Every structure is written in C-alpha cells, then in structure tokens.
Amino acid sequence: MSPEQFRQYGHELVDWVADYWATLPGRRVRPDDAPGTVAGKLPATAPVAGDGLTGLVDDLDAIIAPGLTHWQHPRFFGYFPANTSGPSVLGDLVAAGLGTQGMLWATGPACTEVETVMLDWLADLLDLPGKFRSHATGGGVIQDSASSATLVATLAALHRASGGDWRTHGTRRRYTVYTSTEGHSSIEKAVRLAGIGDAGLRLIEVDDHTLAMNPDRLRERIAADLADGAVPALVVATVGTTSTTAVDPLPAIGEITREYGLWLHVDAAYAGAAAVCPELRHGHAGLEHADSYCFDPHKWLLTGFDCDAFWVADRAELIQALSVLPEYLRNAATDSDAVIDYRDWQVPLGRRFRALKLWFVLRWYGRDGLRAHIRSHVALARDFADLVRADPRFEIVAPSPYALVVFRLRGGAADDGDARNAALLDRLNAAGEVFLSHTRVRGRYALRVAVGSPQTTAVDVAAAWDAIRAAADGVCA
C-alpha cells in the first residue's frame, strides 16, 4: 500500500468511524444472531491474490458492525464501561503508523519519556502519594490491563517476601496472597501464573453491609499462616470491586501490611478514574501505605483499550524482580543508569507507544474535561438510583459510591426471586434497546447499571428505566 493509497483509505475509514459513532443511538446495543453468523459470512480461505480491499466498507457495514456488542452505545450499561474517544483513536493511529518498539529507552526515547511524563501527569490528576512519581523513588508504566498489573505486583511481592530467593529458586516456599471474597478473578489468575497455586490464595471475608474486606479477618489469617510456616507475601486491596464497587479500608489494611512487611497492591481498575474529581477521592484514603496501585484509563477515562496505568512506590524493587539483560540488548544508555527501560516493568519485552493516546486524551480534555465526564455519569447514576428507590417493587442491594447501581426485584424465596431477576434481565437484553449485566450479592442474583459510555445522557438513563419497568411488568404479571 503506497502512502497515497493509505491516505485515501485512511480518509474513508476515519469517515466510517465518525459515522459509526454518529449512528450508534439508532442501533441495537447487541445482536441477537446465533453463534457462527459472522463466521458464516466470511470466505472459508484467505485470498490467494490480494483483493486491494475492494468492498471493504461494505463488508464493515454488512458483516462487522451488525455482529458486535456496541460498547460505545449510549445505552450500554453492562459490566464496566470501556471508553474510547476521538483523541484516543487518533493517538493510536499515530502510534500504529510509527510502529515503534519501546522496550528500551534506546529503542524509542520519546516512547519512554512521554510515558513517564504522562504517568506523572496522571498521578497528579489523581493526587496520588508523592512516592509514586518518577522524580521520587517510584514511577508509573502502562500495562495492557489491570490483570497484568496484578501479576507484576505479585512477582515483585514474591521477590520481596523471599529476600531475593524467588529469583533463583522460584516458589520453593509456601507463599500466601490475600484479597477479599469480592476481589477480581485476575488475582486468582496471577497467583496461579506466579506458581503459588490456588492453595496459596486467601479470600478474606467482607463486611455484610459494605462488602469491603474485614481487616480483623485479614490480620487473623496472616497470623495463622505465619504460625503454620507459610510466607505471606501480598495483599491485594480493591477500590471499587467489579461486582458492586465496594471499597476496601486501606488505612486499616495498610497498617497490617506495614506491620508484617507485606506488599500492598491496590486495584482500582474502574474506580481510579473517579479520583480526577477531588470529591470522589475518598477511596484513596490510606493509599500512602500502598507499594503499588493501578487503574484502567481504558475503562472510564476516555482512553481506548488497552491502557492500564500502574505505579510502584519503589521502582528498584520491581526492576530487581524482573530485570534480565541479554547481551543483544546491552547499550550505553542502559549501562549509564540514567534512563528507564520499561521492559523491566512488565512481562513482555516488546511494547507499543500507548502513551501517545493518553497524551492526546489529556491534551484534548484537560483536567476539567475529564472531571466533567466523570461527574456527569456519577450524577446520572444517582438519578437512576433515585428512580429505583421510588419503585417499591425494587431494592438497591449495595452502596453506590461511583456510577454503578446494583439492584433487584424484591421478594420471592431465594431461588424463585433469583429466577425472576434473571428472567427480567433476559427479557430486557433480548429487546436490544439497552444492555445490562448481572452479579450476585450475598448469594442473590442482582442487576447492574454501570453508567459510563461517553455518549450517555439523561435521556438514555430514563429510557433504560422505562425498559426495566416494562420488563418487570412482563415478569411480574
């Protein structure tokens, strides 16, 4: 493809994306096609001679767009949001065109330095403790996802807990990792990947009302493991759990991790974005105890997947845990110790220029634009919660500190009530006008409305409530 051909197709496809965003409100949020529908529309084999992208836009319209769940749809309320935005896409376009490999400072100085500065900017915007900044002992890095951040934190924690032995001998001792029963599934995966095994994972009980980790139970469990000869290594606390956005008490947890010398990783994958607003930083109280922290700008901060921002308080510990330097990567800058080589901060060696989209997003929206984005969703979620509360058929089943509302139809014996709520969700999502997902709270089935799509307005939230009430009429009849 010549630069001239690229220019022509590029213009056409930028138009296509702009049209896609503009026409989202008129689309079903989710297709209702049977599995195999999309695959059935594709040729069985790759073309032998290139086809010059003939009919490309028609295929996007006929095959791809109708076969998607539209995460940017203003009536997408499922899971957590996965924001993208114009500036993010343009930053990614430039990064893709540059095709840089940023594994070392030397392989892409701007790729590394923009990332370091962006993570410092973000730390400022979220008012993170000073130790996480690059000009202090810490620093930030972009991981592909919060799952990778948790894995990297787990490895650094093992390095610390073993006094360095883990690097040489692996997990020859019985290490233990602690999170709450509401912690994300990626913690279990990290424990497995790190070679600790599921038997080393401790799920600490939560408070029945707040669904936050009970620090007394945490302390008891650590003490019991120590008495039993295990080596407690890591606590993963969550600010904004995936099920209900519960907030673990960092001040109390931090005292315990400090007392026992455990690594404290704080997973704020979704809720961290809210901390751009001073009035939504309550979950960060006690963050000065943390050894590492992460959140996903790719969830609720207008930055397209993938972009997880991960900070450590002591970069030396992380680098010691992960650094491997083969001869073919040796270079003067690395030897000088004056640069950051991000390959030592993550699992893969290679890395793309993800900081560019973050730079575009932060420049375009500024602090105030990001605050307005978060605040509008928090206000819409509050209004939605008020509507739910005003209808006696429904109950809210968990606190809503951010923009997620978790609720259910009241009543019914456990199984019966759960079945009615599941039927309500099926009916709602089958219609395709809105999309919600579900969870279980204290064992009972509940519906989740996560307000967070960039285009969502009060009209969409009102329409969702109308659709929920109509579906409830059907289920209760």
Ligand X SMILES: *Cc1c(COP(=O)(O)O)cnc(C)c1O
**Toward ligand X, which CB reaches closer, 190 or 339?**
190
- 126 in Cβ contact with 272 (< 8 Å): yes
- 452 in Cβ contact with 299 (< 8 Å): yes
Shortest distance, CB of residue 433 to ligand X, whole angstroms?
25
**Toward ligand X, which CB reaches closer, 190 or 424?**
190
**Toward ligand X, which CB reaches closer, 207 or 433?**
207
- Please tell me whether residue 148 adopts helix, strand or coil conformation: helix
Neighbours of 310 (CB within 10 A): 27
**Toward ligand X, which CB reaches closer, 190 or 409?**
190
Shortest distance, CB of residue 266 to ligand X, whole angstroms?
10
Strand partners, 178: 202, 235
Using alpha carbons, select from 306, 342, 298 the residue that is nearest to residue 322. 342
Q: How far apart are CA 2 and CA 226, in angstroms?
A: 64
Q: Which residues of this protein are in contact with ligand X, per CB under 6 A?
A: 80, 145-147, 184, 186, 238, 241-242, 267, 269-270, 296, 308
Task: Report angle CA 288, 292, 294 to the nearest 5 degrees.
Answer: 105
Shortest distance, CB of residue 245 to ligand X, whole angstroms?
9
For 72, the enclosing helix (H) or strand (E) is none
Q: How far apart are CA 213 and CA 183, in angstroms?
A: 9
**Toward ligand X, which CB reaches closer, 177 or 339?**
177
Shortest distance, CB of residue 293 to ligand X, whole angstroms?
12
For 333, the enclosing helix (H) or strand (E) is helix 332-336
Q: Which residues contact 55 (CB under 8 A, 6 or more apart)?
A: none
**Toward ligand X, which CB reaches closer, 107 or 400?**
400
Q: How far apart are CA 306 and CA 312, in angstroms?
A: 19
Shortest distance, CB of residue 382 to ligand X, whole angstroms?
20
Shortest distance, CB of residue 268 to ligand X, whole angstroms?
7
Shortest distance, CB of residue 269 to ligand X, whole angstroms?
3
Written as one letter, the residue type at 455 is: Q
For residue 145, CA distances in Å to 186, 200, 267, 278, 294 come to 10, 23, 11, 25, 9
Shortest distance, CB of residue 249 to ligand X, whole angstroms?
16
Using alpha carbons, select from 109, 128, 84 the residue that is nearest to residue 342. 109
Q: What are phi and psi of 178, to 5 degrees?
A: -120, 135
**Toward ligand X, which CB reaches closer, 179 or 214?**
179
- 233 in Cβ contact with 227 (< 8 Å): no
Strand partners, 142: 309
Shortest distance, CB of residue 303 to ligand X, whole angstroms?
12
Shortest distance, CB of residue 363 to ligand X, whole angstroms?
24
**Toward ligand X, which CB reaches closer, 233 or 271?**
271
Tell me the residue nearest to ligand X as measured from the CB.
145
The number of helices, as runs of H, and strands, as runs of E, in the chain is 16, 11
**Toward ligand X, which CB reaches closer, 243 or 334?**
243
Residue 167, Cβ density class (10 Å: 0-12 exposed, 13-18 middle, ≥19 buried): middle
* Upstream peptide bond of 308 is cis (omega within 30 degrees of 0): no
Q: Which residues contact 185 (CB under 8 A, 6 or more apart)?
A: none
Strand partners, 405: 449
**Toward ligand X, which CB reaches closer, 54 or 185?**
185
Shortest distance, CB of residue 252 to ligand X, whole angstroms?
19
**Toward ligand X, which CB reaches closer, 80 or 360?**
80
Shortest distance, CB of residue 37 to ligand X, whole angstroms?
26
**Toward ligand X, which CB reaches closer, 142 or 339?**
142
Residue 270 gets the label, from left (phi > 0), alpha (psi -120 to 50) or beta, of: alpha
